[in-house]
Structure 1
Amino acid sequence: MRGVFITLEGGDGSGKSTQAEKLEEWLTEAGRTVVRTREPGGTDFGNEVREIVLHSRGHISPRAEALLYAADRAQHIATKVRPALERGDVVVQDRYLDSSVAYQGAGRVLDADEVRRLSLWAAEGLLPDITILLDLDEDLARARLDSANKRFDRLEAEKSDFHRRVRQAYLDLAEREPQRFLVVDAALPPDQIAAIVRGRVEAFVAASETP
């Protein structure tokens, strides 16, 4: 079997964790070994970076933020994702380089191409086989986060115009690479979203099992 790299992207509150869990359950039932992970925080080092970038009380400059995410990505891909793919596992990952392009590139108003090049350098050029973009209006996403009654992290707490830029950047990325992206309306019921995702993933995973 060949490894398959699947990433889930979208704004905060779009339901990535729910869909990652559903996808993991379905793939496991289908007999595949699944490594479910996230960025930042997929490794011990990544958890330390996650605490800094999401919960630091001090100011972090946009470039410093982008570099911290890239450092996490380099460690994560080298020590967790690539080994899993080489074993033939399916990696289901919550956020990857498209998040950096959207959040640090568009959200923080850095050069998106530079951010992407930095991420690709950190990951030694690794791109996902499939990227599921859960697209949701930023105001609806904020309402979901509010209803969860949780403490916002540094990015979730940003204003609507920040999240509007992030959403548009994601849609622009998906338009640029339609062969990699599947865009799904995240306002749909979770089970309906899961069925749409399985429809895209199933054929790709089956092809990876062909000698």
Structure 2
Amino acid sequence: MDGAARFITFEGIDGSGKSTQIRRLSTRLESAGIPHVMTREPGGSPGAEEIRRLLVEGDPERWSAETEILLFTAARRDHLEKTIRPALATGRTVISDRFADSTRVYQGATRGDLRRTVDVLHAEMIGREPDLTFILDMDPRAALTRGLGRGNGEERFEEFGLDFQERLRAGFLDLAAEFPERCRVIDAGRDAEAIADDIARTVLEVLA
């Protein structure tokens, strides 16, 4: 790659440590003097943050998978317009906690055979893929315990239970095989600092 700003995403099951690793990467990039923006989905822009509350709080059965796809796509479009594109256009690398891959797995693969619906909407309304995606992979049981222990009121997807988390893990690993040119599977069951070292090394090579 040519050293320009990049769009980097972190994916994985709930509780796999994405937020921790994103913060650590941000610290590494700041130390290296690399301008960047740290963001998340659903959310990352004022309008998308409003939609986030509809998606991550409340009864697990609150929305059908089809409705979730529409809500996630609406939030993602606002995020793209208001945060991602402007940052990249001014030379800042974007690090996002989730993007379209999460919708492909959560709604497209584990809550019905809706992958084609997700892809059609993505092509029409988003039309952007990350340059680099880290998929944090770990034991679903351990991740679920960690996710439910956060107690932040955003456990709607964790409350679908262990079987759902196991299907998510399989879905993300399938996705990594589908997009090998941009996806890197990271063993997230290790020491957090060792994980951060692996991620930072890869990112700095990409940005060099």
TM range (shorter): over 0.9
8 Å CA contact 1:11–1:138 kept in 2: the answer is yes
**What amino acid sits opposite 1:114 in the alignment?**
T
- Aligned partner of 1:160 among 159, 162, 172: 162
Aligned-partner Cα distance in 1 for 2:165–2:119? 19
User: What's the TM-score, normalizing by structure 2?
Assistant: 0.93
**What amino acid sits opposite 2:198 in the alignment?**
I
- Aligned partner of 1:174 among 147, 153, 176: 176
8 Å CA contact 1:5–1:91 kept in 2: the answer is yes
- Aligned partner of 1:128 among 108, 118, 130: 130
More displaced 10-residue stretch of structure 1: 89-98 or 28-37? 28-37
Aligned-partner Cα distance in 1 for 2:185–2:5? 22
Aligned-partner Cα distance in 2 for 1:59–1:39? 19
More displaced 10-residue stretch of structure 1: 163-172 or 143-152? 143-152
Query: 1:152 deviation in Å?
Result: 5.1
Aligned partner of 2:66 in structure 1 is 63
Return structure 1 stretches of 4+ with deviation > 4 angstroms: 149-152
Query: 1:149 deviation in Å?
Result: 4.8
Q: Any gaps of 5 or more consecutive residues in structure 2?
A: none
**What is the RMSD computed on CA atoms of the aligned residues?**
1.5
Aligned partner of 2:6 in structure 1 is 4
Query: 1:59 deviation in Å?
Result: 2.3
- Aligned pairs for 1:1-211 within 5 A: 2-57=4-59, 59-123=62-126, 125-151=127-153, 153-206=155-208
8 Å CA contact 1:8–1:134 kept in 2: the answer is yes
Aligned partner of 1:209 in structure 2 is none
Aligned length: 205
Q: Any gaps of 5 or more consecutive residues in structure 1?
A: 207-211
The 3-state SS of whatever aligns with 2:9 is strand
**What amino acid sits opposite 1:128 in the alignment?**
P
Between the aligned residues of both structures, percent identity stands at 38
More displaced 10-residue stretch of structure 1: 197-206 or 110-119? 110-119
